[in-house]
Amino acid sequence: MAKSTILIKGEPGISGSTGTQGTNGVNSAANNTGQPGKNGTKGWLGGCDDCATNGTAGANAVSGGGPGGNAGSGFSPPSFTLTVYQLNVPTGQSLSILSQGGTGGTGGTGGVGGSGDSGGTAGSNYSKCISNGTCQPAQGGYGGNGANGGVGGNAGSGGNGGSITIYCPLEVQPLIMALSSGGAAGNPGAGGAGGNGGAGGANEVYPSGSQQTYAPAGLSGGQGGGGGAANPGMSGSVNFFTINKLQNGSKSNVPAN
């Protein structure tokens, strides 16, 4: 491998920003979400006037996560021109000139989806009203559903390689290895995580002293999809122009492009 290398690199592309987080669901009395059930009532003669009511379902998430920002493309390096009349390198080695386009930026991660709120707690009955079959044990409300995560941002394309122009005598050309290559494409952004489902509300405990149980939790939102892929940069041009060797310290004319 050549010991002497001239490397001209393009700047990488800017990465995309992370998507905004979704809005969580919030229980409210106005929407009757996540509200506790009412307790049952017993009549003055010992009868069961009203059975306890169930808790209401928790509020669903308001919105999903926002999309991740798209990445910027990599930049091309500046053009490079070299004029050389004589080149002394060890046997079997060469002067390496490499022009490399910048790597594309990485797409932003999708935003996390909003989460659902918890279900309401069940009301309580008089135990006699359940044992005599008048009422059923009240149930807690289901948890609210979470929303989907946002889509990841698209990857940035790689930058094109820059142009390389070399003026040198014919016998110097084999001692120079010149290459201009495009930059690699960036990575797509990952999809955002889905929001969590809200917890289920507490069920009425019956019979007394038994273990507490809960209504089912809400469904979690789905993972957002990944961003789109991008293309690598294109190779740049490499041109050699032959000039005459210096004669007795005089300068040689360099031909125009």
Could you give the CA distance from residue 23 to residue 133 in angstroms, rounded to a whole number? 43
**Cβ atoms of 119 and 142 closer than 8 Å:** yes
Whole-angstrom CA distances from 45 to 41, 42, 49 are: 12, 8, 10
Could you give the CA distance from residue 84 to residue 167 in angstroms, rounded to a whole number? 6
**pTM (predicted TM-score):** 0.83
Whole-angstrom CA distances from 177 to 99, 101, 148 are: 11, 18, 52
Hunting for tokens 């050309």 — which residue is that?
A: 173
Quick one: CA torsion of 88, 255, 247, 177, rounded to 10 degrees?
A: 10
- Note down pLDDT in tens along the chain; length 257 residues: 446 899 999 999 999 999 999 999 999 999 999 999 999 998 777 678 899 999 999 999 999 999 999 999 999 999 999 999 998 888 778 999 999 999 999 999 999 999 999 999 999 998 889 988 899 999 999 999 999 999 999 999 999 999 999 999 999 999 999 999 999 999 999 999 999 999 999 999 999 889 999 999 999 999 999 999 999 999 999 999 999 987 655 554 444 33
pLDDT given at position 45: 72
Could you give the CA distance from residue 165 to residue 195 in angstroms, rounded to a whole number? 55
Domain residue ranges of the chain, discontinuous segments joined by +: 1-10+37-250
- Phi, then psi, of 107 in degrees rounded to 5: -65, 150
pLDDT given at position 248: 59
Helices (H), ranges, the chain: 127-131
R_g of the chain computed on alpha carbons: 36
CA 45 from chain centre, in angstroms, equals 65
Residue 212 C-beta-side C-alpha neighbours within 13 Å: 8
pLDDT given at position 249: 52
Hunting for tokens 């960036």 — which residue is that?
A: 186
Buried b (16+ CB within 10 A) or exposed e, 191-202: bbbbbbbbbbbb
